[in-house]
Structure 1
Amino acid sequence: MSTVLPASMDVSSTDKENGINPPKKIDAGALFVLKSKGSWLHCGYHLTTSIVGPVLLSLPFAMALLGWVPGVICLTLASMVTFYSYSLLSMVLEHYAQLGQRQLRFRDVARDTIGPRWGRYFVGPLQFGICYGAVILCTLLAGQSLKFIYLLSSPKETMQLYQFVIIAGALMLVLAQMPSFHSLRHINLVSLILCLAYSACAVAGSIYIGNSKDAPIQDYSVIGSRENRVFGAFNGISIIATTYASGIIPEIQATIAPPVKGKMFKGLCVCYTIIVTTYFSVAISGYWAFGNQSQGTLLANFMADDKKDLLPTWFLLMTNVFTLLQVSAVTVVYLQPTNEVFEKKFADPEMSQFSVRNVVPRLVSRSLSVVIATLLAAMLPFFGDIMALLGAFGCIPLDFILPMIFYNVTFKPSKRGLIYWVNTLIAMVSSVLTVVGAVASVRQIVLDAKTYRLFANM
């Protein structure tokens, strides 16, 4: 069977003269994992799950590092810039689709826009590392949620965190066998509902505690030495930038059935409606309730020993269950780029996706991928610090810098026009944030190194 990339129109001889190649034979990774069958609504579900995850519960902590005014400004700017960035990237992808050369992966866009070496040696490995790191972190978060649930029901028991991570990994092992990105559309619809649910619980819990007679002292000053405040501010900016990051926009747009024009923008509108609803409400209510006592995740404030009596056990249990279920969906979404790489390497596009020839390698490769991620999550319960460094090096370039470069190179806007300079300014500022955020993350790793221990019960 001969399979080619889906195209919105045929490639003419003029296109060939302009350097646009005809559709090439598709590989198994794109054919089986990135099936182009979805609607713009399905795209909205995928986008929401890829961006809106339990990491949003760290926004009150980011606000505590920045203060009220800088925190709200950073939240607003990050929302505007990422929506703009993802819209530009979508326009670049639509442009190639109209020329008959639809791009299904981030590295493909980089290859045809800024050169094959950028796609192969920079964007591809960077995206793979970020996505697989997200899988490890989400598995760890799922284990922590399981531990919270366990402690609520059996506070005197002594199971360790790594045991809960292994249980969470077993769940991921099953979900990882979903055959394609498109097959996750119903799971991601449930994920969208779940993120609204636990965000509502987070807001309600914050307001309840903040108004109670035993409410914590609400101090909104940024604490620490001048040096710590400066590095803390950059850490806060990095946290906010990472919560808005996706890194898999081309892969999500690849799930849309042709013609693709205008569909991604509708999906982004669905996603950002959820983002604005959840991010701002959680960040503002959590910071209002706990001030500079906000911890790395808002649930940790809820679960602190002196706060347990302020919230009913059933409420804490429900919030953690919602978080556990949604983080499972996020994990499976970020497995898709790694699944696509394995499928391209080991599957045969000339045979059925569900033939023995393709099912066996898929089962083995995906299972090994989840097992290794679970082992790393259990071994490195401080992986959040490492992920902050990966986020600074990866999320900001993929989501804030490269889309601007792709747009300027593809459409060549006038250097006298506003678009060119807005894109250039965003790329330059984001490059500075990448370097500073990486330095701040390394500093935090060094400061926390004394508490690091393999398989620690954190």
Structure 2
Amino acid sequence: MVSTSPPQPKEAPYSEKSGENHRVREAKWWYSTFHTVTAMIGAGVLSLPYAMAYLGWGPGTLVMVFSWCITLNTMRQLIQLHECVPGVRFDRYYDLGRHAFGQRLGKWIVLPQQLIVQVGCNVVYLVTGGKCLKKFMEIACTNCTPIKQSYWIAIFGSIHFFLSQMPDINSISGVSLAAAIMSLSYSTIAWVGSLSRGRAPDVSYEYKKTSDVDSMFRVFNALGQITTAFAGHAVILEIQSTIPSAPEKPSSIAMWRGAVWAYFVNAICYFPVALVGYWAFGQDVADNVLVALEKPAWLIAAANLMVFVHVIGSYQIYAMPFFEVVEKTLVARFKVTHGLGLRLFVRSTYVAFTTFVAVTFPFFGDLLGLFGGFGFSSTTYILPCILWLKIKKPQRFSLSWTFNWGCILFGVFILFTSTIAGVRNVVVDSSTYDFYS
């Protein structure tokens, strides 16, 4: 008899008891909450009012609610698939891809999308951290000599030359917790500050538009920004891999509990910022709502400093899985000794590369749309659903089958429209930008 079951993973690194890539699995469920919050909330929350300016009250709110619900479900699916084979844990996104599509094909389907998200996020976080640090210093020291934005981004990047030398995701739990607290704090300051400021004079809620062609691309870019905001899936399996598991109490129970709380925090951060920020500034809102707030100065300075602290943790959450993949590959292919020397070389090179890109292309809103459309739509909307259909094989035209195919089609739409818009907007904005200014 020919077996029709999906191929079983053959490599030891997938196993819970594997010695080669043994993981410390001692995290509690609340670890997953603040790791997920740190991975999800960041640059995106501050751009939501800007996205609303192109989508309007009705469509903007609808897309946000729709995205929140869909991405919570696709995260649930990934959490359930983490241990879809008894006795085996898929600790990395591409491990799950290899189980579903085969050793070679699965890796090349999943890994490029995951790397785009991780590298793209790190570039955006560098830009955000540099800009917020610059804003903080301008408010805190009005008599200081102005420093170029490029230098502030480089200063933010230099911090990660040191933090990146920490061994793994478990070792940055304290940084991640501080980042999660900061995200809730500065989001609250953003919407409370907007509410206290009140509606801007002559505020308009008409659709933000220039020419018809430009408006169309900006709407697509706004969709990409919202897609970026509701994400974190690219590293969710890596987060779950730190949680212990047993047959009577699989890791999915604790991970799902942490994810639900993370999405609760997400909601109380995102929706007030988006709706109140748009209410206060209308179509003239900046692509970073904190930039539009000027009083009280000390509170705005504190908020910018909180964003700075938060994106430090966010950078590390997305960088650590990348470091693991690269270091593991170099050890396997080139027989390099896994130690301090390899870690110093790989991680310092990566920090230097992402910092260079961030200094060269600091287009905050456009970068969010570009990376959101191209990377996050795949890892958040498309791949989880494809993996679920491939592994779980729900009955055709059932609710699960229909829902997952709907998510895939929506994700493909976001993939093409916002990626094209993001590239176009970066090109347009770069034509008027003074590089390294």
Q: Distance in 2 between matches of 1:218 and 1:317?
A: 25
> 1:222: how far off?
0.3
Letter paired with 1:73: L
* Structure 1 unaligned blocks of 5 or more: 1-14, 303-307, 349-355
Residues 1:386 and 1:58: Cα distance change in structure 2 (over 3 Å): closer
Residues 1:138 and 1:159: Cα distance change in structure 2 (over 3 Å): same
> 1:284: how far off?
0.8
In structure 2, what is the equivalent of residue 377 of structure 1? 358
Contact 1:29 1:343 in 2 (8 A): no
TM norm structure 2:
0.90
> 1:343: how far off?
2.5
Of residues 188, 192, 196 in structure 1, which corresponds to 2:184? 196
Contact 1:147 1:164 in 2 (8 A): yes
> 1:165: how far off?
1.5
Per-residue Cα deviation, 1:177-214 (whole angstroms, up to 9, x for no partner): 22111222222222221111101110111011116xxx
User: In the alignment, does 2:51 pair up with 1:62?
Assistant: yes
Contact 2:117 2:376 in 1 (8 A): yes
User: In the alignment, does 2:28 pair up with 1:44?
Assistant: no
In structure 2, what is the equivalent of residue 278 of structure 1? 269
SS in 1 for 2:198: helix
> 1:346: how far off?
4.3
Alignment of 1:278-297 (within 5 A): 278-297=269-288
* Structure 2 unaligned blocks of 5 or more: none
Letter paired with 1:230: M
Moved more, 416-425 or 285-294: 416-425
Contact 1:218 1:289 in 2 (8 A): yes
Q: Distance in 2 between matches of 1:258 and 1:344?
A: 24
In structure 2, what is the equivalent of residue 221 of structure 1? 206
Q: Distance in 1 between matches of 2:146 and 2:182?
A: 29
In structure 2, what is the equivalent of residue 409 of structure 1? 390
Contact 1:29 1:342 in 2 (8 A): no
Moved more, 193-202 or 339-348: 339-348
> 1:26: how far off?
6.4
In structure 2, what is the equivalent of residue 5 of structure 1? none
Alignment of 1:278-427 (within 5 A): 278-302=269-293, 308=294, 311-346=295-330, 358-382=339-363, 385-427=366-408
User: In the alignment, does 2:90 pair up with 1:103?
Assistant: yes
In structure 1, what is the equivalent of residue 241 of structure 2? 254
Q: Distance in 2 between matches of 1:89 and 1:403?
A: 6
> 1:248: how far off?
1.5
Q: Distance in 1 between matches of 2:267 and 2:71?
A: 12
Q: Distance in 2 between matches of 1:90 and 1:434?
A: 23
Q: Distance in 1 between matches of 2:353 and 2:422?
A: 24
SS in 1 for 2:84: helix
**Once superposed, what is the RMSD of the aligned Cα atoms?**
2.5
Contact 1:35 1:181 in 2 (8 A): no
Identity of aligned residues (%): 29
In structure 1, what is the equivalent of residue 425 of structure 2? 444
Q: Distance in 2 between matches of 1:145 and 1:50?
A: 18
Contact 1:30 1:344 in 2 (8 A): no
In structure 2, what is the equivalent of residue 112 of structure 1? 99
Moved more, 142-151 or 215-224: 215-224
Contact 2:190 2:289 in 1 (8 A): yes
In structure 1, what is the equivalent of residue 254 of structure 2? 263
Per-residue Cα deviation, 1:403-443 (whole angstroms, up to 9, x for no partner): 11111111111113111011111111211221111222222
Residues 1:49 and 1:24: Cα distance change in structure 2 (over 3 Å): same
Contact 2:221 2:366 in 1 (8 A): no
Contact 2:169 2:317 in 1 (8 A): yes
> 1:384: how far off?
5.2
Contact 1:203 1:285 in 2 (8 A): yes
Residues 1:420 and 1:140: Cα distance change in structure 2 (over 3 Å): same
Residues 1:402 and 1:318: Cα distance change in structure 2 (over 3 Å): same
In structure 1, what is the equivalent of residue 167 of structure 2? 179
User: In the alignment, does 2:195 pair up with 1:207?
Assistant: yes
Contact 1:235 1:437 in 2 (8 A): yes
Contact 2:79 2:240 in 1 (8 A): yes
Moved more, 409-418 or 272-281: 409-418
> 1:17: how far off?
8.3
In structure 2, what is the equivalent of residue 6 of structure 1? none
Contact 2:47 2:365 in 1 (8 A): no
User: In the alignment, does 2:152 pair up with 1:168?
Assistant: no
Contact 2:385 2:408 in 1 (8 A): yes
> 1:47: how far off?
0.8
> 1:73: how far off?
0.5
Contact 1:198 1:322 in 2 (8 A): yes
Letter paired with 1:414: Q
Letter paired with 2:60: G
Per-residue Cα deviation, 1:252-280 (whole angstroms, up to 9, x for no partner): 22121223131221111111010110000
Moved more, 152-161 or 125-134: 152-161
SS in 2 for 1:344: helix
In structure 1, what is the equivalent of residue 229 of structure 2? 243
Letter paired with 2:123: I
> 1:449: how far off?
3.0
Q: Distance in 2 between matches of 1:363 and 1:112?
A: 32
Q: Distance in 1 between matches of 2:9 and 2:193?
A: 56
Moved more, 408-417 or 121-130: 121-130
Q: Distance in 2 between matches of 1:87 and 1:294?
A: 34
Contact 2:49 2:275 in 1 (8 A): yes
Q: Distance in 2 between matches of 1:387 and 1:58?
A: 9
> 1:160: how far off?
0.8
Residues 1:58 and 1:29: Cα distance change in structure 2 (over 3 Å): farther
In structure 1, what is the equivalent of residue 412 of structure 2? 431
> 1:19: how far off?
4.0
Contact 2:377 2:411 in 1 (8 A): yes
Q: Distance in 2 between matches of 1:438 and 1:188?
A: 29
TM norm structure 1:
0.86
Q: Distance in 2 between matches of 1:18 and 1:219?
A: 56
> 1:68: how far off?
0.5
